[in-house]
Amino acid sequence: MEIKEEKNKTYWDKERLEKFWGRNPTQEFNDRIETQDDIQLEFQEALGGVEQEPSKKKRVFESGSQRDDDTNKPLPNHLDAYVRMRYGYLLRHGGNHYDKGNWRKGQPTEAALESLHRHLAKFEMNLYNGVEQDEDHLSAIIFGCQLIMKNEEKEGIKIDHYYKPI
């Protein structure tokens, strides 16, 4: 009598993940775990059925490696590359003109607001009059917002002050 040697399968083995989630199971798992209740239930079952606090939940990867759940962590990687590059060119222009990092010395919120409003008005006037933009007013608005946020940081406003977990 032949005894078939069964693979040592774990709950998160690759074949099961591919069957359930498709070709890139780890990415699809990460994409779906935050949004679907049935996935959350399977996740909890895999952890022994123990329901954990959101901050204590873990992600389990194909390799068996684990990481804390990232549900309430910031998403700086979601800042669009096009926007970052345009803004980077504005910073390069300012760095060439005033020295790199000059803005880090600080500027009053009032001065930042004046500039922000001026660039918004210029952008709107050009847009509504069909005039081509003469400079990157939108990046200048982001710059003004950055100056104001840095002032808030100096005032002690915590980085997650406005974040409310859902």
Each residue's pLDDT tens digit, 105-127: 999 999 999 999 999 999 999 99
pLDDT > 90? residue 128 = yes
For the segment 44-65, the average pLDDT, to the nearest whole number, is 69
- Rounded percentage of the chain residues whose pLDDT exceeds 70: 66
Q: Work out the pLDDT band at 72, boundaries 50, 70, 90.
A: confident
Report pLDDT for 31. 57
Question: Which residues touch 29 (CB under 8 Å, ≥6 apart)?
Answer: 17, 21, 39, 59
Backbone phi, then psi, for 155, in 5-degree steps? -80, -5
